Amino acid sequence: MSSNVSLSTPRDGENSLRRPSTYRFLMGGLVFSAVWSIFAGARDPASWIIGIPAVVAAAWCYASLAQDRRHRLSLLALVRFMPVFLWESFKGGIDVARRVLGPRLRVDPGLLDYRLGLTLPSARVFFVDLVSLLPGTLSADVQGDRLRVHALDRGLDPAGDLRRLERLVAAIFGDDGAMLRS
């Protein structure tokens, strides 16, 4: 059994923004429903008043805007990424809470630039969104191959964490550009 999911390409003349793939829409709906259940709590049926429209919109966007149809996503790499995602989310939340809720406010905000190695647009978007998971960081702007990162503390040097996260994203999307970068 292969650990990759094949992504289809649109037929010649087909406008993928107007006619999203039904398969992509349904699979996106399943994934986004699961994510909604995890974050909103499966025990609260009232959350689906907002959840259903949000899941439908997210699934439609996913099906319509996915542009890297000729590439393969690695499910194995995605499964390997999940513990990192959960750990970095937890660690980032604790770090920010400790900084701002402690007896002395420990922030010295600033901006830093990071050169992106990812070449696929969907991998870049995923990576830029994930940067906010790292303790004290937030994606602020993307200009070409440069990502501007807002850091809560200018003394932080998140470059190593960013490179590690970028390699994980590259493995998920099969983006050789970031894998070749050291």
Tens digits of residue pLDDT in 7-51: 334 444 444 344 557 888 888 889 888 888 888 877 778 888 888
DSSP state for residue 25 in the 8-state scheme: H
Q: Regarding beta strands 110-115 and 4-6, do their DSSP bridges make them parallel or antiparallel, or are they unpaired?
A: unpaired
Three-state DSSP class for 90? helix
Greater confidence, 12 or 165?
A: 165
CA 45 to chain centre: 27
Three-state DSSP class for 19? coil
pLDDT digits (tens, 9 = 90+) for 116-142: 999 888 888 889 988 887 888 889 999
Are 66 and 20 in contact by the 8 Å Cβ rule? The answer is no
Query: What is the residue-averaged pLDDT of the chain?
Result: 78
Cβ-Cβ contacts under 8 Å for 172 (sequence gap 6 or more): 73, 74, 77, 78, 81, 123, 126
The rounded distance, in Å, linking the Cα atoms of 137 and 105 is 16
> Which tokens belong to 53?
């429209």
Average pLDDT over residues 158-175: 88
